A and B are shown apart, each in its own frame.
Chain A
Amino acid sequence: MAAEMGAVLQLFEQLAKAPVDMLEPLSHPGDPALRLRADVVTEVDQRANFERVAPSMMGGYYLVPKVIE
């Protein structure tokens, strides 16, 4: 894995050669604006459905090894 990563990172050196100094980064193709939705509750309780795909659930809670805070 380390050798493969090294080769991939070498590939990235190409970026240093690109003439990008004056450019704005492009995170979203087409430069769209965020679309907003109305503040309406559209979801119903589907816990039983989601519980079917959960590896470990009890009393409606997802279980994980004890978290110490």
Chain B
Amino acid sequence: MLATIGLEVHVQLNTAAKIFSGAATAYGAEPNAQACAIDLGMPGTLPVMNAAAVRLAVRLGLALGSTIAPRSIFARKNYFYPDLPKGYQISQFEAPILIGGGIDIRVGQTNKRIELTRAHLEEDAGKSVHDAFHRESGIDLNRAGTPLLEVVSEPVIESAAEAVAYLKALHTLVRWLGVSDGNMQEGSFRCDANVSVRKPGEALGTRAEIKNVNSFRFVEKAIDYEIERQIRIIESGGKVVQETRLYDAQRDETRSMRGKESAHDYRYFPDPDLPPLILDSALIETERSRLPELPNARRERYQEDLGLSEYDSAQLTQDRALSDAFESVIAASAAPAKLCANWVLSDWQGALNAANLTIDQSPLSAERLGGLVTRVHDGSLSSKMAKQVFEAMFASDDSADAAIARLGLKQVNDIDALAAHVEAVLTENTTQVAQFQAGNQKLLAFFVGQVMKRTQGQANPAQVTALLRDRLG
């Protein structure tokens, strides 16, 4: 059996105000404190379109290679629900702002392009609270009117793993572009999955829609569960029903949402309050000129131009802030990119994670880290010393050199000074010199250790070894 999956992702656009009103979109306000007269659908109020929502949609469309519709139309989707204050949702139906486009994913060793059907602008609904009141539900309309871009993929995804890879790529992209904060806990990136199964060679099967899954892990589990469920039904001679299902993370299963039949007639029609959105090429070109290097392009560049591994390149392009920080480290450092990447991915990220900080909140700047990596590269610091310096820098405003000086940790690189120490060690240990020259090669480590001791660990062991070999023939 083959599975076919199409995903609808609701991306919350990163605007200060709502799509049709001047109320704030900030998360976590007191219930209904951010629902203004327009959001509440008060009589006589009217929607006025937020320009930023349009610009963000265009920006994502350019990055996805979509056609930006020169004319798109807002329509009303009519249905009654308490979290829908006007009795209709303003959305786009026949003429969405973005048409087509796609996103490249990699699953295992396979590359695949996930084609998109469309993406349309719409307003979010409010939120119902079911457990706070006796026999009643509470409605909070703070979220009502939050701008969303619904990105609809073609039904070309064939496994839960592909679905997750696609979602992660889209998630990276919307955050990369500043289109959305992508915060899944706060509902800024939500996914509906249309899942069907069929036997090879047959037409697409009947699909079930899994609503509102808000973590990558749950998407994977929900789709896997649903594929298995549908296969079980078909193999036991049954038929899959077209319906909406909800994923229950606690029980790891999907179940039917009765009462939300997909056969509902939404009576879409052009919103008479909102004339067509006409996009002039100037706006599109402005957005195009502001488009940053995209994550996939950057990843390839890291592999091809900087010689980073596929893994490191992928890691470094998952997040725009991290990637930009890496760029700054390279720029500030004389060290090769590979060494910079190691420091960014292991030490820096490790320290940030331990301190529960984002890269933007890092007490250590990329430029200062670049200085440290330079000192590692030129041999001024052993890796053990470098870690000490890193910790000192993370906890202060010191530059690498200032921290090294403060800690008195400079690795002795001066050949003459080192040679003097080597000479002294050899003079003091004539017995061992004789044994070495008689063939006991293991004593080399002893001499190195003695030199390190004399220099209080600040000598470069590689240099010491080289000097010793030279001196002892």
Contacts and interface: CB of A to CB of B under 8 A. Distances in A.
Same complex origin of A and B:
yes
Interface of A: 27-28, 31-43, 45-47, 50, 56, 58-69
Chain A interface, >50% SS class:
loop
Given A27-B270, A36-B54, A63 B137 contact: yes
A60 B49 contact: no
Contacts of A56: 136
B50 interface: yes
Contacts of A64: 82, 136-137, 139
Interface in B127-174: 128-130, 132-133, 135-141
A61 B17 contact: no
Contact of B37 (A32, A46, A60, A68): A46
Contacts of B277: 33-34
A13 to B, nearest CB: 21
Contacts of A41: 16-17, 22-24
Contacts of A33: 275-278
The range of chain B's interface size is 35 or more
Interface string B268-304: 0010101111100000000000000000000000000
B196 to A, nearest CB: 24
Interface of B: 15-17, 21-24, 29-37, 40, 42, 48-54, 74, 82, 128-130, 132-133, 135-141, 246, 257, 259, 270, 272, 274-278
B130 A69 contact: yes
Given A37-B49, A64-B136, A65-B137, A45 B34 contact: yes
Contacts of B42: 50
Nearest to A37: B48
Nearest to A39: B52
Given A32-B275, A33-B278, 4 more contacts: A33-B277, A39-B52, A40-B17, A41-B23
Contact of B33 (A35, A60, A63): A60
Contact of A66 (B35, B40, B135): B135
A46 B53 CA distance: 24
